[in-house]
Structure 1
C-alpha cells in the first residue's frame, strides 16, 4: 500500500507541513508506505518545456520519479495554501509535468487530441487539504471555489480518481491554537478512516 504525499508551501513551519506530518504518521501506523515530497525543498522545476502532446517523458530525473510514484500510488494527498483561488505556481507546474499523457491519462485508440481522455491512475481516492485566509463561505459564495472544481473534476476526476475529499481550513491568520488542533485532528481522522477502509478492502 503506497501513499503519495505532495506539499506545496514555501515555509517548512507552515500548517500545510503540519497537516502532511499528521497524515503521514496516521498512514504509516496503518501500514502504508508514504512517499512524501516537499516541492519547494526539493527544488522541483515547475516549467513545462514542451507542448502538452509531447509531454510523455522528461530528462529531469525528479519529474520521472514523481511520475512513477503517481502511477504506483494507491492514495494521493496534496497540501497547499489557497493563493488567489489557485494553487501555488510550483504545484500547478507539478500538475503540468507529472499528470502527463500516458502517465495519468490517455486517449482511446483512434481518438484525436480533441477526444475525451480516459484516466490511468491506479489510485481511487485522493485528499486535498488547503489553507486560506479567506473564510470558506466567502470563497464559495463570492469566488465560486474554483479549487473545488479544479481538483475534483479537472485533475483527479479526469485521471480516474473516483473519490476526492477536499477541506479548506482558515482563516489561518485569525486562527487560535484550538482551531488548528481541531483541524489537525480532522485531517488525521479523515485519512485514517480512508487508510483503514483501503486495508480492509485489500485483505478481502
Structure 2
C-alpha cells in the first residue's frame, strides 16, 4: 500500500502535528504500508486561491502544470490521509482550496449522461483525522453531521472513493480531552491497517 498524508495546520507546535507524527510512526511499523509521502500544505506554501481568466480556464485545471506534482501524488497513492482541524464546522480554507483545485473535472471525475458523474479515483481509500475545540458529537448533534456529509458524500463518493474512515476528536483544547489516549488510538490504527 502507498499512502499519502496531507497535513493542514499552520505550524508544527500543535496537537495536529502530534497526530501526524503518530501516523508516520504507526505506518513505519506496518508491513502493509510500503511507501509513505507527506504533504504539508502550509510548509509547502500551497496557494489555495482559485484563479480563472482568459489565460487560465476552469475546464483546464486537470492539466494545469502548476499543480501537476500534486496530481501525481494523488494518482500514486492507494490511501489518502487528511489531518486537519474543524473550524466553523468544516475543514480549513487551505485544505478546501487544495480540494477545489486538485479534485477537478477530467482528473477526479468525468461528467456523463445522468445525474452523477463517473468517479475517476475508484479503488482509493481515505482516512480523515480531524480535531476540534468543541465536544466530539457537536458536528452530529448541532450541524446535522455536516462535516462528514461534506467530505464523504459531496467530495469522496463523487470522485469514486467509497471507503472513507473518520476520526473526529473533540475537546482537544481541554485538559480533560484525553489527548494521549487519542494519539495512541491513531498510532495503533495505522500500525495495524491492512487495506
Distance 2:72 2:78 in 1: 12
**1:104-123 matched pairs, under 5 angstroms:** 104-108=108-112, 111=113, 115-123=115-123
Matched residue, 1:160: 160
Q: Is the 8 A contact 1:71 1:104 kept in 2?
A: no
**1:9-20 matched pairs, under 5 angstroms:** 9-20=9-20
Q: Is the 8 A contact 2:139 2:147 kept in 1?
A: no
Instruction: Specify every segment of 5 or more residues in structure 1 that has no aligned partner in the other structure, as ranges.
Output: 199-204
Matched residue, 1:201: none
Distance 1:66 1:129 in 2: 20
Shift of 1:52: 4.2
Matched residue, 2:37: 35
- The structure whose residues are more often helix, as a share, is 1
Give the TM-score normalised by the residue count of structure 2. 0.88
- 1:132 matched to 2:138: no
**1:1-12 matched pairs, under 5 angstroms:** 1-12=1-12
Matched residue, 1:202: none
1:63-117 per-position Cα deviation (integer Å, ceiling 9, x unaligned): 2111111112111100000100011111000001111122211123xx3xx7521
Distance 1:123 1:68 in 2: 16
Q: 1:171 to 1:52 in 2, by over 3 A?
A: farther
Where does structure 1 differ by over 4 angstroms across 4 or more consecutive aligned residues? Answer: none
State the secondary structure of the residue aligned to 2:127: strand
Q: Is the 8 A contact 1:107 1:115 kept in 2?
A: no
- 1:143 matched to 2:143: yes
Instruction: Specify every segment of 5 or more residues in structure 2 that has no aligned partner in the other structure, as ranges.
Output: none
**Which structure exhibits the higher relative contact order, with contacts defined as CA atoms closer than 8 Å and separated by 6 or more residues?**
2
1:139-193 per-position Cα deviation (integer Å, ceiling 9, x unaligned): 21112231111111111111111111111112111134x8111101111222233
Give the TM-score normalised by the residue count of structure 1. 0.85
Distance 2:158 2:190 in 1: 22
Distance 1:80 1:175 in 2: 20
Q: 1:57 to 1:74 in 2, by over 3 A?
A: same
State the secondary structure of the residue aligned to 2:70: helix
State the secondary structure of the residue aligned to 1:126: strand
Stretch moving more, 78-87 or 28-37: 28-37
Matched residue, 1:54: 60
